[in-house]
Structures are given as structure tokens and as C-alpha cells.
Homo-oligomer: A and B are copies of this chain.
Amino acid sequence: MKERSGVRRVIAEREEELPTSEFVKIVKIAEERHDVISLGPGEPDFDTPKNIIKVAKKKLDQGFTHYTPIGGRSDTKKAIAKKLKKENKIDVNPESQVIVTVGAKEAILLSLMSLVDPGEAVLIPDPGYLPYRSMADTITVEPLSVRLKMEDGFEYDIDEVKKVIEPKRTKAMILNSPSNPTGTVFTKKKLEEIADFAIDNSLVVISDEAYEKFVYDGSKHISIGSLNGMHNHVVSIFSFSKSYAMPGFRIGYACGPRDIIQAMTRLKMGTTLSTPTISQLAAIEALKGPQESVKRMVKEYDRRRRFMWRSLNEMGMECLKPKGAFYMFPKIPRGRHNSTTFAHSLLHKTKVLVVPGTEFGKYGEGFVRMSYATSYQKIVKAMGRIEKVLK
């Protein structure tokens, strides 16, 4: 028999291109210490509302354990189309213009796959949600970082976009409002500006609206796909994970032009086939059932947000007041070396875990992300601890 051990094996370059995570190291250190308060979470600290759990259990009993069509169940897609029309002012055909996916994440991946070939490029926000970059790398598409600046309220500045776009090979632009990690809610005026730019540059906008329900201070979430004439140039992506505290169900969806959604559906045969059946049925209940629990969650997030923002201000950490999502993105105090060392020192001195801004791209340097998807009490305690060491 041959010797079967000493053969060279090479991991694909696409994996080697993936960004490395400092945060993983910080989390590991945190895990070894007692009494750490984590302001790291990217998921709701609430459980899924009872009415949704009840339906999921009922459907399990009824034997809904088989595959569904690749793009999703018809009843799920119909309920989604109804919601899109009512809440997002987006009018789509449920059969051909909606796809149900394994979280919003798979929808983003499939839309990138549908629109951008290897060697081509996509504009991504920086600071922005880390996986945008990972996904582009994963399918050997180039992510072009657009700098978002605090003085612009972390909205896209078209001049910054112009600096990095490579016109011929840039096919799409990712927009994320309400934004992770900054909490920015894009204004209608800004969305109109982006829409015009996208049209002028033949870009499809991939609009990640996972935080659509989490807006505060009377601000309003507007879907760029609802703007005049944009129905043919936007893939709008939503999630149940945040809105209904259902991350473990792994369900999201996208809507958009027929040809793109059909391409995404065909590509889904090569990623995960269908989306979990029970999750699709639970999602119908989430959309059609009572919405009180959503309101309750938003109200509680808002309470925490106001407290956290006030605290940060009082201790002199400069921070835009976020209008959406469940994150704050304060500047690190003057004289601190960088985001990573500041996050490490905060963990070391106060046992409070925050995420270095550079986890969200190079332009996140000088900031940290703090999540308020954790209890009010813990936030009070965490703010107290931080204040002590900053004084």
C-alpha cells in the first residue's frame, strides 16, 4: 500500500483573502475572565415571540419536515409580498420577484453571485458589516471600500464613492440602512442622491435592510427600492432575525427585478437548496400575527439607546446619536493609540467587551462599536465601569 500522508495540500486563495478578526482574539480573552459584560452582541437578547414558537411547534406536529421549492413556499412569498407593499412601498409579484433565503446573509451572497463576476467589483460601506467583504472575497469579487465619515453622519458621500469606483468593472453597491455598526438611518434626500448615482453608473443597489424595524426619534426607514423608477435597479434584502428575534431560525428574503431574483433562485440550488421549512411557516405567523412584541422590543432598545448615549456623552466619548439598529459607534478617547488597543485595555481594566472599529473596515479605526442588545441593567453597570477608568 502507498504512503498516504506526505502530500502537499493548498487551501484556496479565496479563503486566504478573508479578513482576519482581532475581535475573535478579544472574545477569547474575555471568555477566560469572570464577570465580563459584553457589549459585543450582534443579535437580539430577546427570545422569539410566543405566538411564533407556537406555530412552529404546530407545523412540526403536522409533518412539515420536507423540502420546499428552492425559492420558498408560495404562502410565505405571498405574505412577504403583502408586507413589502404595505410597509416598504415595494410592489412585487410574489412568485417571480421574491426569494426566501437562509438569513439575509444568503440573500446578500446570492445577489452578489448573480450580479458580479470574478475580477469585477462591488462598492461596500467602510465602516460596514464585516461579512460584505468576506462574501466578496469568497466569490473572488473585489470589494471597494467607500469611506463613511462621522462628519457626514456616516452616510455615503458621493464624492467618496467617486474616489474609489472603477466604472467599467463595478457592478453593484451595497447599502445598509439602518447601518451596522454606526446606527445611521439614511435620509430620503441621500437615498435619492444614491439612486441617481447608481443609475448614472449602471450599478445595481443591494440594499441590506435587516434593521428596518429599529428606528428611533421619529425617524423613518425608507426602502431605496421604493423610490421612483428604482424598482428595476435594487435588490432589497430583509431578515426575520432582528425584527422578530428569530436568528436561530435562519430566515430572510430578498425582492427585486425578476431576472435577478430568478438568477438568485437558480444559484441557490448550489448553496443551500431550500430554506428550513418550519422557519418559512413561522415567518408567516411573524408577518401576519400580532406586532406588539416588535413594538415592545423597539421601545426597550430605545430606552437603552438613550441611556447609553447620554452616558457616553457625560464621560466625554464623542458619539453621533444613532437613529437606528442597536449599536453606538463612539470615537475612542483622545490620546488612545488605536481601536484595538483601546478595546483590549477596556476589557483588561473594566471587564467590558466592545468591538474595535477596524472590525468593520480600515476606516473604522479610531472608533469602537457598542451594542445595546443587552439588558438595561448590564448597560448601566458597563457604563459605570467605563466612566471610572476614563476619568
A residues in contact (CB < 8 Å) with B: 1-5, 7-15, 18, 43, 47-48, 53, 56-57, 60-61, 63-68, 102-103, 105-106, 109, 113-118, 120, 130-131, 134-135, 137-140, 171, 192, 195-196, 199-200, 202, 204, 227-230, 232-233, 245-250, 257, 259-260, 263, 266-267, 269-279
Docked complex Cα distance between A237 and B223 (Å): 40
Q: Is the CB of A15 within 8 A of B114?
A: yes
Residue from B5, B48, B131 in contact with A270 in the complex, judged by beta carbons closer than 8 Å: B131
Most buried by B among A3, A63, A267, A270: A270
Q: Is the CB of B64 within 8 A of A248?
A: yes
Kindly report how many copies of this chain are found in the complex they form together.
2
Residue from B67, B138, B199 in contact with A267 in the complex, judged by beta carbons closer than 8 Å: B138
Q: Is the CB of A272 within 8 A of B103?
A: yes
Closest to A63 in B: B47
- List chain B residues, Cβ under 8 A from A116: 12
Docked complex Cα distance between A91 and B55 (Å): 40
Q: Is the CB of A230 within 8 A of B57?
A: no
Q: Is the CB of A61 within 8 A of B53?
A: yes
Q: Is the CB of A2 within 8 A of B196?
A: yes
Docked complex Cα distance between A1 and B272 (Å): 41
Closest to A197 in B: B2
Residue from B4, B47, B56, B259 in contact with A11 in the complex, judged by beta carbons closer than 8 Å: B259
Q: Smallest distance from the beta carbon of A47 to chain B beta carbons, Å?
A: 5
